[in-house]
Homo-oligomer: A and B are copies of this chain.
């Protein structure tokens, strides 16, 4: 290190490196929400709303079976092909209809859990989606899964920050997140 010019050069370089590191670790949570069961989506939404309440940025990537939890039971879309209609009928219509991964017992276990949740003042999935919306949690839906299952955005619940996009969006979000989970 010979003189001030040299110091300045080195300084600006190290500053740039620190800046890159800082950008690489935003206070952000990225989750792939893959599973369609009520308990798993509940876990995802508890983590999501919890993190958002602690002022973290939260980005969810709904894919495969989890997308069914975002369907609005009151909305209908016409012009579907046979296969798409079949998927539409076989998959649960919205967060009120999805079963538990265990102890579902023909819906009895699921009802039991819901009544206990109510008693303990744990928010239902419907309420959690509303809270998540208020807290600015972003919901991205996997385009490929939407196409495969024949779902349209018009069938999904009203949600302010909902986008249909590809896995690339998840990857670039996850890359700059502190926490990444696959649920």
Q: How many residues of A contact B (CB 8 A)?
A: 59
State which of B34, B50, B180 has its C-beta within 8 Å of the C-beta of A43: B34
**A167 CB to nearest chain B CB (Å):** 4
By a CB distance below 8 angstroms, the chain B residues around A47 are 32, 167, 170-171
Which residues 99-156 of A have a CB within 8 angstroms of B?
A: 101-103, 112-113, 116-117, 120, 122, 144, 147-148
**Residue-wise interface mask of A (147-183) relative to B, using a CB-CB cutoff of 8 A (1 in contact, 0 not):** 1100000000000000000111011101100111111
Copies in the complex: 3
**A31 CB to nearest chain B CB (Å):** 8
Q: Is the beta-carbon distance between B18 and A168 smaller than 8 angstroms?
A: no
Interface secondary structure of A, over-half rule: helix
Q: Is the beta-carbon distance between B175 and A147 smaller than 8 angstroms?
A: no
Q: Is the beta-carbon distance between B24 and A178 smaller than 8 angstroms?
A: yes
**A125 CB to nearest chain B CB (Å):** 14
State which of B34, B147, B167, B180 has its C-beta within 8 Å of the C-beta of A179: B180
Q: Is the beta-carbon distance between B183 and A179 smaller than 8 angstroms?
A: no
By a CB distance below 8 angstroms, the chain B residues around A7 are 1, 7
Q: Is the beta-carbon distance between A43 and B54 smaller than 8 angstroms?
A: no
